[in-house]
Amino acid sequence: MSSKAKKAVILFSGGLDSTTVLAQAQMDGFECYAMSFDYSQRHSVELASAKKIAANANVAEHKIIKLDLAQIGGSALTDLSIDVPVDELVDEPDGSIPVTYVPARNTIFLSIALGWAEVIGANHIFVGVNAVDYSGYPDCRPEYIEAFEKMANLATKVGVEEHSIHIETPLIDLTKAEITQLGISLGIDYSQTVSCYLADEDGKACGVCDSCRLRRQGFKDADIYDPTRYQ
């Protein structure tokens, strides 16, 4: 990659969405710096997937940041006393936020990514949020991303001097089927990705949690073979 290539920080979990975002950013000519988080999530096996995919993608650098969000809990993904719902989508009909929502997660992750972006001279941060086929998380909405980008340009040296921090969300208006089709066109091997909230130690998916059901439906709607490794 040329030293003059545009730099971007990619929030990267090793799941279907973030892997698609990484591939898209590279296709768009960005030199990619992947950032993953070990935040005491019950599905931490996703980090093994993230390491492997990032290495195979030849990213410029891959950091795994250690955070212990289990100390505050409040989510089925960080508090083992709260069960992950299975066999039904977890978005509630009354519009309430599902128990798999991790309090302030995207704000925390984007803030740390913003700091790294300043350090390495990256003006773009990519995140795989989606406002179509998702679980109803408030920090996946376009208005949230717009607000964070505005804050980033107010709160950073590079933002104040250049007004040049951009939060890129290439998947935000796509259905899960469209995301899957995009990834296939980019040559992604989705069998290497882990999206499941209840994945086993080998990264095999449960097939019944909210994330699995959205992912499985995406492959079905796209009429694409589902390569996910199920338990």
Average pLDDT, the chain: 92
Q: Measured between alpha carbons, how far is 132 from 121 in angstroms, rounded to an integer?
A: 32
In this prediction, residues 194-205 reach a mean pLDDT of: 94
Burial 42-68 (b: 16+ CB within 10 A, else e): bbebbbebbbebbeebebbebeeeebe
pTM exceeds 0.75: yes
User: Does position 91 have pLDDT exceeding 80, yes or no?
Assistant: no
User: What pLDDT is recorded for position 98?
Assistant: 87
Domains of the chain in sequence order: 6-222 (3.40.50.620)
Determine the pLDDT at residue 95.
Answer: 62
Classify 111 as helix, strand or coil: helix
pLDDT over 90, % of the chain: 85
